[in-house]
Amino acid sequence: MHEINGKRMNRYHELGQYAFGKTAGLWAIIPFQLIVMIGLDIVYMVTGGSSLHQAYKLFGGTQSFGLSAWIVVFAATELLSCQVSPTGSMSQTSYRRLHLVS
């Protein structure tokens, strides 16, 4: 991200500590990072719920559900999909690579 006097700073808290000191740098950076992280989650859920709502209306859905119901459906779907093991796990990748090589 930045390099100052030969020291590379790859994270925002390192840059904040350089600018404001060890403790004040963390207190200056962490609230903004938390705001961005929480806001990003909210925007992601609202966008997903809105997309589900639009797809439902596009494919001829007749019953009217509110946007908040679709946000909850999207959040539940995301929560369930996070619990499933990833499709590109190491054992599957190694298994495929073994059969491609031989």
Helix (H) or strand (E) holding 2: strand 2-4
- The pTM of the whole model exceeds 0.75: no
3-class SS of residue 6 = coil
Q: How many helices (H) and strands (E) does the chain have?
A: 4, 2
Residues in the chain: 102
Express each pLDDT in 48-81 by its tens digit: 999 999 999 899 887 888 899 999 999 999 988 8
3-class SS of residue 8 = strand
